[in-house]
């Protein structure tokens, strides 16, 4: 859940255009993720409005409705449903070539409550060819564990409650290189401290006879990560855009990640804009990750989270936007409707499908087929500018 907040911060920080306040606009989005036995869907509403010449206010409401029977759940728990509601509010203040932004985010679900505050500064310089930005965020998270009662309802386990705090620092640079080319650089350091694993997930260890048993995962209580990204966006001669980026990631848990991302944007027939998207991601496993530990309590830290395994992933996506006008509504300057679909394929190198262990038929623990995840991500949204 710590990641949910770090990400949605983009809604607040990214709009911090130096020298220009964000446009007044409203977006209503429906999102749906389906794959690996999990379905997550819900709405997201984002509204931005200028107040006077110097202020802009942004508010977002986001909701996840989760129905999960993932491979982790199948192994050590039972299917569950969950909701997460998130509200955020941010303010941008423009003063000369500087934009100051600050905001708060509140996220609640039955077993995780997270509050985050952030601050950002953007500065235009060198004839507005260069924008430098700095940001800082601070998060306070309370972690709980739900247990099922005899009647099937859920309640918080009174024997477990913990906390996780986070801090994030980032610097960014956007540079106009030519009349058709923009360059971007971002560097971010994130620190977490506290209870950083799942209170539900288990690892497995081998038992005699080719089987396995489960024990609770144990993560270190600190985590520091560094990420740096480079980005280029080029305007093609026939009014189209090509966007490419690379990100390098490393952390104190031993994960090293590489992300390549490419988007081609092509307007057509006056009112349509089409986007094609390709993304490749690859990572190494955390130092304390193993699909199958040799025995119970074999090391201080234990993880069998797919997210910390060795794998690569390919995502292919398409997006279509249609600009339309709403007659007789003068306060709306522009409006568009957009559909976007992405297909993800994740191939794990050291995470096996433990639900298929069957020593009697020769499938002993550690020899099951490697797990593969296919998922579809769908978005439909309407945007208006006013």
Partner 1 sequence: MRLVRIAFVAAALVVVSSACTPIQPWVKPFEREHLADPIMAFDRNPVSSAYLDHVFEAREGARGASGSAGGGCGCN
Which residues within the stretch 278-307 sit at the binding site for partner 1 (CB under 8 A)? 279, 281, 283, 286, 306-307
Residues within window 20-39 making contact with partner 1, judged by CB under 8 A: 20, 27, 29, 31, 33
What is the nearest approach in angstroms of partner 1 to the Cβ of residue 148?
24
Residue 203 makes contact with partner 1 by CB under 8 A: no
The token duo for 276 is 């094609």
| Helices assigned H by DSSP within the chain | 2-13, 71-76
Pick the closer one to partner 1 by CB: 226 or 325: 226
Pick the closer one to partner 1 by CB: 67 or 130: 130
Pick the closer one to partner 1 by CB: 240 or 364: 240
Size of the site for partner 1 (CB under 8 A): 92
b/e for 279-303, b at 16 or more Cβ within 10 A? bebbbbbbebbbbbbeeeeeeebbb
By DSSP bridging, strand 370-385 and strand 311-324 are: unpaired
What is the nearest approach in angstroms of partner 1 to the Cβ of residue 103?
13
Residue 13 makes contact with partner 1 by CB under 8 A: yes
What is the nearest approach in angstroms of partner 1 to the Cβ of residue 327?
23
| 385, 333 contact by CB (below 8 A) | yes
Pick the closer one to partner 1 by CB: 82 or 251: 251
101 strand-pairing partners: 92, 120
Instruction: Give me the phi and psi of 359, to 5 degrees please.
Output: -55, -30
Q: Which stretch binds partner 1 (CB under 8 A): 146-154, 157-165, 252-260, 348-356?
A: 252-260
Task: Give CA–CA dist 271/324, Å, rounded.
Answer: 7
What is the nearest approach in angstroms of partner 1 to the Cβ of residue 10?
5
| 136, 119 contact by CB (below 8 A) | yes
Residue 220 makes contact with partner 1 by CB under 8 A: no
Pick the closer one to partner 1 by CB: 223 or 352: 223
Task: Give CA–CA dist 23/367, Å, rounded.
Answer: 55
The token duo for 198 is 């799942």
Q: Which stretch binds partner 1 (CB under 8 A): 4-12, 75-83, 156-164, 347-355?
A: 4-12
Pick the closer one to partner 1 by CB: 283 or 357: 283
The alpha-carbon radius of gyration of the chain (Å, integer) is: 23
Three-state secondary-structure class, residue 156: strand
Residue 104 makes contact with partner 1 by CB under 8 A: no
| 143, 164 contact by CB (below 8 A) | yes
- Helix (H) and strand (E) counts for the chain? 2, 18
Residues within window 105-134 making contact with partner 1, judged by CB under 8 A: 122, 124, 126-133
What is the nearest approach in angstroms of partner 1 to the Cβ of residue 86?
10
Residues within window 162-181 making contact with partner 1, judged by CB under 8 A: 168, 170, 172-174, 176, 178-180
Residue 186 makes contact with partner 1 by CB under 8 A: yes
By DSSP bridging, strand 181-194 and strand 55-68 are: unpaired
Task: Give CA–CA dist 33/318, Å, rounded.
Answer: 15
What is the nearest approach in angstroms of partner 1 to the Cβ of residue 265?
5
What is the nearest approach in angstroms of partner 1 to the Cβ of residue 175?
8
In 3D, which of 99, 108, 178, 170 has the Cα closest to residue 142? Answer: 108
Task: Give CA–CA dist 281/346, Å, rounded.
Answer: 9
Among 7, 149, 150, 360, binds partner 1 (CB under 8 A): 7
Residues within window 56-95 making contact with partner 1, judged by CB under 8 A: 60, 62
Residue 137 makes contact with partner 1 by CB under 8 A: no
Among 63, 73, 313, 364, binds partner 1 (CB under 8 A): 313
Residue 377 makes contact with partner 1 by CB under 8 A: yes
In 3D, which of 220, 222, 282 has the Cα closest to residue 249? Answer: 282
Among 215, 287, 342, 349, binds partner 1 (CB under 8 A): 342
């Amino acid at each position: 859940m710590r990641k949910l907040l770090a990400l949605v911060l983009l809604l607040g920080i990214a709009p911090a255009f130096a020298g220009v306040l964000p446009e007044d606009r409203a977006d209503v989005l429906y999102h749906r993720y389906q794959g690996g036995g999990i379905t997550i869907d819900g709405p997201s509403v984002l509204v931005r409005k200028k107040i006077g010449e110097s202020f802009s206010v942004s508010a977002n409401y986001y909701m996840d409705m989760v129905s999960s029977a993932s491979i982790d759940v199948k192994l050590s728990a039972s299917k569950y449903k969950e909701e997460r509601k998130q509200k955020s509010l941010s303010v941008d203040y423009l003063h000369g070539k500087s934009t100051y932004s600050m905001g708060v985010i509140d996220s609640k679900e039955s077993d995780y409550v997270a509050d985050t505050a952030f601050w950002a500064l953007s500065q235009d310089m060198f004839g507005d060819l260069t924008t430098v930005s700095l940001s800082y965020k601070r998060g306070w998270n309370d972690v709980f564990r739900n247990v099922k009662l005899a009647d099937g309802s859920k309640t918080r386990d009174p024997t477990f409650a913990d906390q996780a705090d986070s801090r994030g620092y980032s610097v960014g640079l956007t540079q106009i290189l030519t009349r058709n080319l923009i360059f971007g650089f971002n560097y971010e350091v994130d620190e977490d401290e506290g209870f950083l694993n799942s209170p539900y997930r288990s690892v497995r260890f081998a038992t005699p006879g080719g089987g396995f048993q489960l024990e609770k995962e144990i993560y270190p209580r600190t985590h520091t990560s560094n990420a740096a990204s480079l980005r280029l966006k080029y305007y093609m001669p026939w009014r189209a855009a090509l966007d490419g980026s690379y990100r390098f990631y490393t952390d104190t848990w031993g994960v090293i990640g590489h992300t390549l991302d490419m988007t081609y944007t092509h307007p057509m027939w006056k009112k349509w804009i089409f986007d094609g998207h390709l993304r490749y991601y690859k990572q190494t496993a955390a130092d304390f990750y193993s699909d199958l530990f040799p025995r119970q309590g074999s090391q201080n830290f234990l993880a069998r989270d797919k997210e910390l395994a060795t794998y690569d992933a390919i995502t292919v996506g398409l997006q279509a936007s249609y600009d339309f006008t709403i007659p007789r509504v003068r306060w709306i300057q522009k409006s568009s409707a957009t559909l976007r679909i992405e297909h993800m394929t994740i191939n794990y190198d050291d995470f096996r499908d433990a639900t298929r262990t069957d020593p009697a038929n020769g499938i002993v623990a550690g020899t099951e087929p490697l797990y593969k995840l296919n998922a579809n991500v769908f978005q439909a949204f309407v945007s208006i500018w006013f």
